Amino acid sequence: MSPDAPSSGPVAAIPPTDGLKECTVTTEGTFGPAQGSAQEGGPELVQLLTPEGERREHPDYTFDLDDEAIRGFYRDMVLTRRIDSEATALQRQGELGIWASLLGQEAAQIGSARATRAQDFIFPSYREHGVAWCRDIDPLALTSMFRGVDHGAWDPGAVNFHLYTIVIGAQTLHATGYAMGIQKDGCVGTGDPDRDTAVMVYFGDGASAQGDVNEAFIWSSVFNAPVVFFLQNNQWAISAPSEKQSRIPLYRRSSGFGFPGVRVDGNDVLACYAVTKAALQQAREGGGPSLVEAFTYRMGAHTTTDDPTRYRLQAELEHWKHKDPLARVKAYLTRNGLVDADFFAELEREADELAERVRSGTRAMPEPNLAELFDLVYAEGTPELQEQQRWYTEYHASFHDAASAEVAR
């Protein structure tokens, strides 16, 4: 990662110490209103593909993949959006208890996740369905969790993708601890691309104000842990706007902790890929942690339990619709003759099939045996849990007894 990402204010250089790359501390805006937090993201924003679908150069970051990869990213984003809209509909039909939509954040998630290597370990929050997609997590494993059938039915160790974390920001500490562990295992800075490993953790603008996140920043910084903090600033923490989390642009937070930060256009899949790739590489090489702020927008509700019309203006959403992460890639591919009509037709067919699989698979899930949950809390049971299990089993059976009595009457 470039330590000298462009900034508008006066800067003070922190001299490099052993193992820690030089970074810049920007002082402008510290005591004023948040700089660059307006809807455009400010001059610091790294962008490689404009909302109109035009490629841009950046002095520090280059997108180094071919058009085939861009078609692949587009496919990822279309299919992820389809999973998301299907899951939202399933919740509305009473098939899921709740759903947290990623609508609008597809580029941030696909770009960053595609920049990881198989050996990198990812800690998600609860909205990272695009990242899960890139880690080959079956979408039905997500809907089963949001249906209440299980608590996350994949093996994190097998796919290097941790279970979703609902406790805001807690996963940044897990990630930091894991990163310190792989450091001790000698999996950082060896020069072997198959061995060197980084950790990536996803969290939000609201989470950035949590104590856990700030502690994770400190630990990762002083231990030079190989972790990339991927902050999706979707502008809202439920009904709290991001201005209420920070007086300065969030990516600048890291400078106070002694590691670099960069703000990337979170609706630009090319830039998200390029910036994250550089940050991950730095971590794997032993260059320590970094903060990537993906400046994006949550186009849907916080979750299906939320009604955003109660706290934000429709005009804001309309503004962000012009920056839709999918539309700009489609414009780029079409304008440059990199796809034909068959490409879109085939993708639509694939999305329809996927949606049907998510729908029918979710509806067909067997009822969970909730009494089993008590066996899964600890490796071995405790008297308290056994008592709770006995109580629950009796309580559950009482419904059956009542129903039988009703039939007999």
Ligand X SMILES: Cc1ncc(C[n+]2csc(CCOP(=O)(O)OP(=O)(O)O)c2C)c(N)n1
268 binds Mg ion (CB under 5 A): no
Tokens of 101: 């939509």
Q: Measured from the CB atom, is 154 or 164 closer to ligand X?
A: 164
- Mask 293-332, x = binds ligand X (CB under 6 A)? -----x---x------------------------------
CA contacts within 13 A on the Cβ side of 303: 11
Number of H helices, E strands in the chain: 13, 9
258 touches, from ligand X, Mg ion, none (C-beta below 5 to 8 Å by class): none
Query: What is 140-203 written as a DSSP string?
Result: HHHHHHHHTS-S--S-HHHHTBPPP--STTHHHHHHHHHHHHHHHTT-SSSS-TTT---EEEEE
Q: Single out the segment in contact with ligand X by CB under 6 A; choices: 25-33, 37-45, 199-207, 219-227.
A: 199-207
The least distance separating Mg ion from the CB of residue 122, rounded to whole angstroms, comes to 19
Q: Which among 144, 143, 142, 118 is positioned nearest to 132, based on CA atoms?
A: 142
223 binds ligand X (CB under 6 A): no
Longest dimension (CA), the chain: 84
78 binds Mg ion (CB under 5 A): no
Backbone φ/ψ region at 136: left (φ over 0), alpha (ψ -120 to 50), beta: left
The least distance separating ligand X from the CB of residue 287, rounded to whole angstroms, comes to 26
Q: Which among 242, 238, 241, 258 is positioned nearest to 250, based on CA atoms?
A: 242
Tell how far CA 22 is from the center of its chain: 27
Neighbours of 58 (CB within 10 A): 18
Query: What is 46-82 written as a DSSP string?
Result: B-SB-TTS-B---SS----S-HHHHHHHHHHHHHHHH
Q: Measured from the CB atom, is 166 or 403 closer to ligand X?
A: 166
**Residue whose beta carbon is closest to ligand X:** 204
Q: Which of 55, 151, 311, 335 is catalytic?
A: 311
Q: Which long-range contacts (CB under 8 A, 24 or more apart) does 390-397 make?
A: 396/370, 396/371
The least distance separating ligand X from the CB of residue 45, rounded to whole angstroms, comes to 19
Tell how far CA 313 is from the center of its chain: 25
The least distance separating ligand X from the CB of residue 98, rounded to whole angstroms, comes to 11
**Binding residue (CB under 6 A) for ligand X from 58, 127, 253, 284:** 127
Q: Single out the segment in contact with Mg ion by CB under 5 A; choices: 99-107, 186-194, 200-208, 211-219.
A: 200-208
**Binding residue (CB under 5 A) for Mg ion from 205, 212, 293, 324:** 205
Neighbours of 118 (CB within 10 A): 9
207 binds ligand X (CB under 6 A): yes
127 touches, from Mg ion, ligand X, none (C-beta below 5 to 8 Å by class): ligand X
Tokens of 270: 């090319």
234 binds ligand X (CB under 6 A): yes
User: Which 236-265 positions form the footprint of ligand X (CB under 6 A)?
Assistant: 236-238
167 binds ligand X (CB under 6 A): yes
397 binds ligand X (CB under 6 A): no
Active-site annotation holds for 298: yes
Positions in the binding site for ligand X (CB under 6 A): 127, 166-168, 204-207, 234, 236-238, 298, 302
Catalytic residue ranges = 298, 302, 311
